[in-house]
Amino acid sequence: MINNKLPLVDLHRHLDGNIRPQTILELGQKHGIALPGNDLDSLMPHVSAVGNQPSLVAFLEKLDWGVKVLVDEEAIYRVAYENIQDLQQDGIDYAELRFSPSYMGRFSHIAPEAVIDATVAGVQAGLKRFDCQAKLIGILSRSFGVEACQRELDAILSRQHAFVAVDLAGDELGFPGNLFEPHFKQVHKTDLNITVHAGEAAGAESIWHALERLGAQRIGHGVNAAADHKLMEYLATRQIPLESCLTSNLQTTTVSSLAQHPINDFVEAGMCITLNSDDPGVECTTLSKEYQLAHDEVGLTAAQLAQIQRNGVQAAFLSDGERQQLLESKLNN
């Protein structure tokens, strides 16, 4: 279902939601961390959301064991490096990997600046070794509140050349976007782009807020735009990209089935839809599987999926020169 003449791009992929279960097991054993399972079979239910979760917050808890084993910079480096290897294994040409430095340092109390440095080092080593490209997005984890996000933003801005954008993720219902207007005002003073998780757990008003008050250039998920036709029209007219993640939306119970997912309506409305993986490790998915699902379960055609691949290139936080290079790298294949 993937068109090999077009780049395969993943714009919404959490590095800290893609820690291999085998790595969790090995790091846990190495550092004497008591895990809820001593082998892969017994660990899997605790680190994966297969079987679906009753809410976004319950889903997010599945990421915690991956972060609990990040006891030092070496562990962070390893996980970042393996994330790049996973991109190559999935045939991804370009990805924007996002991570929350404060969340990754939450259990070890490693400072967010040190988390960023270790992550960047692991990513750079991976990019030297594996055949793919990646850029980084810094996340503000809204679940930990306004002040924690300010600390996290300070760390991201102290390393801003390592990033192409800032994102707001976590508990959208418990911590609505209006709490974070001061943070994004600060981001506006930089060259960093903005993408915001919105319209996933909360309604269309959260997407309007992300666009109008936080300055979002792309929307993470945006599923609940389906309830607001004016918003769909606004997104289509301006070609504001939605970062859609099918399996994630099912596992967080944002949609009750893939047949109910509004992505078909979005595509029909001419919106700029991209397909992404979100937390592939926790979801036990790959981007290739997401394309397959979009075809088999949602009914998108090969032509529509090719357009989605083109949209991914168009929506990437790349310079025009980088975008052109990415496109040409596949044409010459």
Instruction: Tell me which residues are annotated as active site.
Output: 200
Distance between CA 143 and CA 103 in Å, rounded? 10
Contact of 252 with 55, CB cutoff 8 Å: yes
Least Å distance, CB 29 to ligand ADE, is 26
Residue 97, number of CB atoms within 10 A of its CB: 24
Least Å distance, CB 226 to ligand ADE, is 17
**Tokens read off for 249:** 């939306």
Closer residue to ligand ADE (CB): 100 or 307: 100
Bridge-based pairing state of the strands 165-169 and 193-198: parallel
Number of residues that bind ligand ADE (CB under 6 A): 12
> Is 177 near ligand ADE (CB under 6 A)?
no
Closer residue to ligand ADE (CB): 106 or 197: 197
Sign of CA dihedral 46, 47, 51, 54: positive
17 touches which of ligand ADE, Zn ion, none (CB within 5 to 8 A by kind)?
ligand ADE
Least Å distance, CB 197 to Zn ion, is 6
Binding string to ligand ADE for residues 273 to 302, with x set by CB under 6 A, is what?
-----xx-----------------------
Binding string to ligand ADE for residues 10 to 29, with x set by CB under 6 A, is what?
----x--x------------
Least Å distance, CB 332 to Zn ion, is 33
> Is 200 near ligand ADE (CB under 6 A)?
yes
* Residue sitting closest to Zn ion (CB): 278
Closer residue to ligand ADE (CB): 6 or 104: 104
Distance between CA 142 and CA 295 in Å, rounded? 33
> Is 199 near ligand ADE (CB under 6 A)?
no
Binding string to Zn ion for residues 268 to 287, with x set by CB under 5 A, is what?
----------x---------
Tallying the residues shown for the chain, one arrives at 333
Contact of 215 with 184, CB cutoff 8 Å: yes
Q: In what order do the strands lie in the sheet with 193-198?
A: 9-14, 94-99, 133-141, 165-169, 193-198, 218-221, 242-244, 273-275
Closer residue to ligand ADE (CB): 153 or 318: 153
Question: Which of 112, 170, 280, 281 is the binder for ligand ADE (CB under 6 A)?
Answer: 170
Give residues with Cβ within 8 angstroms of 178, minimum separation 6: 209, 213
Residue whose structure tokens are 């970042």 = 80
Distance between CA 53 and CA 252 in Å, rounded? 5
Distance between CA 214 and CA 184 in Å, rounded? 6
**Tokens read off for 167:** 């994102």
Burial grade of 88 (CB within 10 A; 0-12, 13-18, 19 or more): middle
* Residue sitting closest to ligand ADE (CB): 169
Binding string to ligand ADE for residues 71 to 90, with x set by CB under 6 A, is what?
--------------------
**Tokens read off for 68:** 């609990």
Q: Where are the beta strands (DSSP E) in 69-124?
A: 94-99
Least Å distance, CB 167 to Zn ion, is 8
83 touches which of Zn ion, ligand ADE, none (CB within 5 to 8 A by kind)?
none
**Tokens read off for 139:** 């996340």
> Is 169 near ligand ADE (CB under 6 A)?
yes
Give residues with Cβ within 8 angstroms of 109, minimum separation 6: none
Least Å distance, CB 141 to ligand ADE, is 8
Binding site for Zn ion (CB under 5 A): 278
Residues in the site for ligand ADE, rule: CB under 6 A?
Answer: 14, 17, 56, 60, 169-170, 197, 200, 248, 252, 278-279
